[in-house]
Amino acid sequence: MVRRLLFILLALAAARVFAAEVQVAAAANFTTPMQKIAAEFERESGHKVLLSFGATGKFYAQIRNGAPFQILLAADEATPAKLEQEGAAVAGSRFTYAVGKLVLWSARSGMVDPRGEVLKRGGFDHLAIANPRLAPYGMAALESMKAMGVYESLEGKLVQAENIAQAYQFVASENALLGFVALSQVMEGGVLKGGSAWIVPASLHAPIHQDAVLLTTGQGNPAAVALLRYLQGAKARSIIQAYGYDI
Contact 231, 97 (CB under 8 A): yes
What is residue 18's predicted lDDT score, i.e. its pLDDT?
63
Report how far residue 19's alpha carbon sits from residue 2's, in angstroms, rounded to the nearest whole number. 26
Contact 192, 58 (CB under 8 A): no
What is residue 247's predicted lDDT score, i.e. its pLDDT?
86
Domain extents in the chain: 2-99+208-242, 100-204
What is residue 189's predicted lDDT score, i.e. its pLDDT?
81
* pLDDT tens by residue, 86-135: 999 999 999 999 999 999 999 999 999 999 999 999 999 999 999 999 88
Task: Judge whether residue 6 has pLDDT over 90.
Answer: no
* pLDDT tens by residue, 150-196: 999 999 999 999 999 999 999 999 999 999 999 999 998 888 999 99
What is residue 19's predicted lDDT score, i.e. its pLDDT?
82
* CA atoms lying within 13 Å on the CB side of residue 189: 2
Q: What is the CATH number of domain 2-99+208-242?
A: 3.40.190.10
Show Cβ contacts of residue 21 under 8 Å, excluding neighbours closer than 6 positions: 47, 48, 49, 50, 223
Radius of gyration in angstroms for the set of CA atoms belonging to the chain, rounded to a whole number: 20
Report how far residue 234's alpha carbon sits from residue 160's, in angstroms, rounded to the nearest whole number. 36
pTM value is 0.83
Class of domain 100-204: alpha beta
Please check whether the two domains, 2-99+208-242 and 100-204, share a CATH topology: yes
Beta bridge partners of 50: 23
